[in-house]
């Protein structure tokens, strides 16, 4: 019998991290992800793991770096302003190719912003975020179950590609309680001969991000990273579609926005309007070919976000001018509404109809 | 009195002179020559005066000086 | 009668046989050498992991044959914490300069010490930022001229040099805190002893150990190396006195001795 547990998204993610074998968790409290910190403080001892409430976000991310360099499965989590501070170590870990998982339970910005959920960190997450030429894998769940499932996958992806993996969810997902079936460990194991464990019976292992020789070392390292990112881009194509087969109007959204958009699709269909939803579950690499394919038979595309337009840029790049891309978003913790989405799509139907009449 | 020989690896030496300044017997001096890195290096002008105190090797930032202790046996 | 020669001092094995990038007369070279000697004496080279800071000593692992990693600037004790927590049976050393330890990483320094992390921090205090060309450090002395205090450090504007050992001594957790220096052979010997003791304590699981070493940066001080050594003694030591600020294991041993 499947056992459901009622859990907050944040707690589901924390428990999933433990299931995935995360034994080192370092963080600094910030709303709306505090449940992760408290859960880890309470439950890490159960698995003989390490929890430290760090002195700062920067220190927390650096502790992750230390444990990741030691070969352990390490994680930190925060919310938007805290993630900005963590960018320092994320860049270092991307450069030094250290696997780790970082969860951003986004809140409204810019600056201190607010504590309600938002999606204003899309650019930061998908473009690298810190300094230098790098990307991180960005997983985008839209419910507590996916927060748990994606977390388990995130640790494997991090180890497989030796890269930081970001779980990008918003405060609503983190705070909402939903029934969750806790995932099973994947059982995958990864050799880490590069870890710094003491140079016994082998040469030194050195984990660096300083490479001073521009042409023969640092450029080569960057090329190596780019090759890896290309491999990741070829391999990781994650998305879900909802009623897109015969859709005239395509919605694109992730996270909480996608849940709202899906509801709008159902309502529109009740009114005989053929709408569908494309939901990327990984934001970098972005499922661009798949979105273009999905959009190829649609008349127009509406991107819905809890921001003033970030993912919409990737959507436009994906369809590359093939169809018109419109945007609807609300930010600062406000949510897009089903009503507004329906009004937009109905307006398209109307203008399309008048356009046909005129020609 | 202990007797020693300072063995100076001239290729490691950067010619900083800390050894010269700290030698109690004043038997170290800068060579009038450079090593393959272009640095002047220390030489010992009179090994017979060396008391194997280790001051030069302690102060050397480049671990360029090893000290050999002369022991009379028999 | 014949003579038999033997090495009284040999270059330590843990020191890799390469030329360092340090300037002539730089204290880092001496400290690397002492550290490498300590690794050999305690037979811990194979179990030691060094966290290098941002600063001149960032390439430390190129000179000492141990596993190493680089921290972001100032995060060295936090990275060391992450390493030590993942590998409590390894010797973890955080090697830091004055900018890393007392400016950009003051928070990490204080909190790693306050948690009593069982790590060793080697703090190289040369009263300026060497790698970037000689700017003012938190430890730059009053009236000392640097690139960013061209008329000399004015305490009315930039405060006074921070004393790391004294600051950390206000915390309860640290096990061992000592300030030593490199100004002459005797001082170098004491520095070696302090490094060995700190590593020994870590090996025994005694907790946080901190060794501050007053070191010369003749290039950026604009003086001859030998004059640099003298300057440590005449200018730095009066503000940064040599002292064992904390030695809990020794205090406990002494108390135990009295009791028995």
- Average pLDDT over chain A, rounded to whole? 96
Whether the predicted pLDDT of C202 surpasses 60: yes
* Closest Cα in chain A to C63: A204
Whether the predicted pLDDT of A65 surpasses 90: yes
Fold type of domain A240-358: Rossmann fold (3.40.50)
Q: What is the Cα–Cα distance from A207 to C66, expressed in whole angstroms?
A: 12
Residues in C closer than 8 angstroms to A69, CB to CB, are: 69, 79, 82-83
* Closest Cα in chain C to B67: C9
Q: Each residue of A153-190: pLDDT tens digit?
A: 999 999 999 999 999 999 999 999 999 999 999 999 99
Residues in C closer than 8 angstroms to B70, CB to CB, are: 3, 5
Tens place of pLDDT per residue across chain B (74 aa): 789 999 999 999 999 999 999 999 999 999 999 999 999 999 999 999 999 999 999 999 999 999 999 887 76
CB contact under 8 A, A210 and C69: no
CB contact under 8 A, C3 and B71: yes
Q: What is the Cα–Cα distance from A50 to A185, expressed in whole angstroms?
A: 19
Q: Each residue of A191-222: pLDDT tens digit?
A: 999 999 999 999 999 998 888 877 789 999 99
Percent of chain A's residues with pLDDT above 90 = 94
Domain covering C27-259 assigned CATH 3.40.50.970 in the classification: yes
**pLDDT value of position A317:** 98
Give the sheet arrangement for strand A239-242, strand by strand. Answer: A239-242, A275-280, A249-252, A300-305, A324-329
Q: What is the Cα–Cα distance from C98 to C78, expressed in whole angstroms?
A: 16
Taking the CA atoms of A176, A180, A182 and A186 in sequence, report the sign of the dihedral they define. Answer: negative
Q: Does A50 touch chain C (CB under 8 A)?
A: yes
Locate C130 and state its tokens. 């060497």
Percent of chain A's residues with pLDDT above 70 = 98
Fold type of domain A5-194+207-235: Rossmann fold (3.40.50)
Locate C206 and state its tokens. 């005694």
CA triple C91-C92-C95, angle to 5 deg: 135
What are the distances in angstroms from CA A197 to CA A30, A206, C11, C12?
Answer: 33, 10, 25, 22
pLDDT tier for residue A329 given thresholds of 50, 70 and 90? very high
**pLDDT value of position A214:** 75
The answer for residues whose C-beta is within 8 angstroms of residue A97's C-beta and 6 or more apart is A162, A163, A225, A228
**pLDDT value of position A359:** 42
**pLDDT value of position C258:** 65
Q: Is A240-358 in the same CATH topology as A5-194+207-235?
A: yes
pLDDT tier for residue A358 given thresholds of 50, 70 and 90? very low
Which residue of B4, B5, B22, B62 to mutate against C (max C Cβ within 10 Å)? B62
Q: Each residue of C135-160: pLDDT tens digit?
A: 999 999 999 999 999 999 999 999 99
Q: Does A49 touch chain C (CB under 8 A)?
A: no
A127: left (phi over 0), alpha (psi -120 to 50) or beta: alpha
Which residue of C40, C59, C86 to mutate against A (max A Cβ within 10 Å)? C86
Please state the domain extents for chain A.
Answer: 5-194+207-235, 240-358
Whether the predicted pLDDT of C32 surpasses 70: yes
pLDDT tier for residue A353 given thresholds of 50, 70 and 90? low
Q: Does C104 touch chain A (CB under 8 A)?
A: no
Asked if B65 contacts B56 with a C-beta cutoff of 8 angstroms, the reply is: yes
Spell out the domains of chain B, with CATH numbers in brackets: 3-70 (3.30.70.20)
Give the CA-trace dihedral at A309, A312, A314, A319, to 10 degrees: -160
Q: What is the Cα–Cα distance from A58 to C94, expressed in whole angstroms?
A: 17
**pLDDT value of position A11:** 98
């Amino acid at each position: 019998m499947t056992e459901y547990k009622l859990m907050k998204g944040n707690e589901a993610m924390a428990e999933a991290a433990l299931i995935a074998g995360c034994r080192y968790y370092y963080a600094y409290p910030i709303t709306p992800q505090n449940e992760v910190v408290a859960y880890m403080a309470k439950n890490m001892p159960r698995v003989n793991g390490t929890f430290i409430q760090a002195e700062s976000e920067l220190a927390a991310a650096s502790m992750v770096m230390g444990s990741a360099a030691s070969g352990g499965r390490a994680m930190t989590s925060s919310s938007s302003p805290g993630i900005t501070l963590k960018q320092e170590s994320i860049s270092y870990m991307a450069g030094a190719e250290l696997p780790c998982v970082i969860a951003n339970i986004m809140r409204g910005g810019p600056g201190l912003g607010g504590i309600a959920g938002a999606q204003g960190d899309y650019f930061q997450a998908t473009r690298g975020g810190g300094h230098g030429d790098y990307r991180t894998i960005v997983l985008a769940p839209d419910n507590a179950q996916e927060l748990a499932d994606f977390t388990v996958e995130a640790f494997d992806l991090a180890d497989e590609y030796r890269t930081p993996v970001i779980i990008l969810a918003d405060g609503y997902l983190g705070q909402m309680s939903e029934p969750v079936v806790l995932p099973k460990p994947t059982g995958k194991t990864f050799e880490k001969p590069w870890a710094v464990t003491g140079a016994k019976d082998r040469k030194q292992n050195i984990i660096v991000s300083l490479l001073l020789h521009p042409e023969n070392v640092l450029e080569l390292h960057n090329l190596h990273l780019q090759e890896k990112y290309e491999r990741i881009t070829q391999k990781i194509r994650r998305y879900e579609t909802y009623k897109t087969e015969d859709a005239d109007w395509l919605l694109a959204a992730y996270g909480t926005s996608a849940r709202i958009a899906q509801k709008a699709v159902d309502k529109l269909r009740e009114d005989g309007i053929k709408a569908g939803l494309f939901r990327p579950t990984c934001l970098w690499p972005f499922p661009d070919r798949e979105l273009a394919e999905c959009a190829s038979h649609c008349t127009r595309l509406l991107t819905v976000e809890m921001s003033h337009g970030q993912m919409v840029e990737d959507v436009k790049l994906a369809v590359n001018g093939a169809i018109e891309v419109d945007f609807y978003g609300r930010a600062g913790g406000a949510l897009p509404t089903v009503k507004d989405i329906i009004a937009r799509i109905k307006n398209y139907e109307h203008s399309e109809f008048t356009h046909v009449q005129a020609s | 009195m202990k007797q020693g020989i300072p063995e100076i690896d001239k290729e490691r030496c950067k010619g900083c002179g800390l050894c010269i300044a700290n030698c109690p017997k004043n038997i170290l001096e800068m060579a009038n020559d450079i090593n393959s890195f272009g640095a002047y290096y220390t030489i010992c002008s009179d090994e017979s005066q060396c008391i194997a105190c280790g001051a030069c090797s302690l102060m050397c930032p480049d671990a360029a000086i090893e000290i050999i202790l002369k022991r009379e046996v028999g | 009668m014949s003579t038999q020669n033997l090495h009284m001092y040999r270059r330590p094995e843990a020191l890799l046989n390469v030329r360092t990038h340090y300037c002539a007369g730089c204290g880092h070279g001496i400290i690397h050498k002492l550290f490498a000697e300590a690794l050999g004496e305690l037979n811990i080279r194979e179990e030691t992991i060094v966290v290098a800071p941002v600063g001149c000593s960032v390439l430390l692992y190129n000179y000492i044959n141990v596993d190493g990693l680089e921290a972001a600037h100032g995060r060295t004790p936090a990275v060391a914490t992450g390493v030590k927590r993942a590998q409590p049976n390894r010797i973890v050393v955080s090697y830091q300069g004055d900018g890393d330890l007392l400016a950009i990483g003051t928070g990490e320094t204080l909190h790693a010490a306050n948690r009593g992390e069982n790590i060793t921090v080697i703090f190289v205090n040369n009263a300026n930022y060497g790698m970037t060309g000689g700017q003012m450090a938190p430890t730059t002395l009053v009236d000392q001229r640097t690139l960013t205090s061209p008329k000399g450090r004015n305490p009315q504007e930039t405060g006074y040099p921070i004393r790391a050992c004294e600051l950390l001594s206000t915390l309860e957790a640290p096990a061992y805190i000592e300030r030593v220096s490199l100004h002459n052979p005797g001082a170098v010997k004491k520095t070696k002893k302090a490094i060995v003791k700190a590593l020994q304590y870590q090996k025994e699981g005694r907790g946080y150990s901190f060794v501050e070493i007053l070191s010369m940066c003749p290039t950026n001080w604009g003086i001859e190396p030998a004059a640099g050594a003298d300057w440590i003694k005449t200018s730095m030591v009066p503000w940064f006195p040599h002292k064992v600020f904390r030695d809990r294991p020794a205090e406990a041993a002494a108390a135990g001795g009295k009791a028995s």
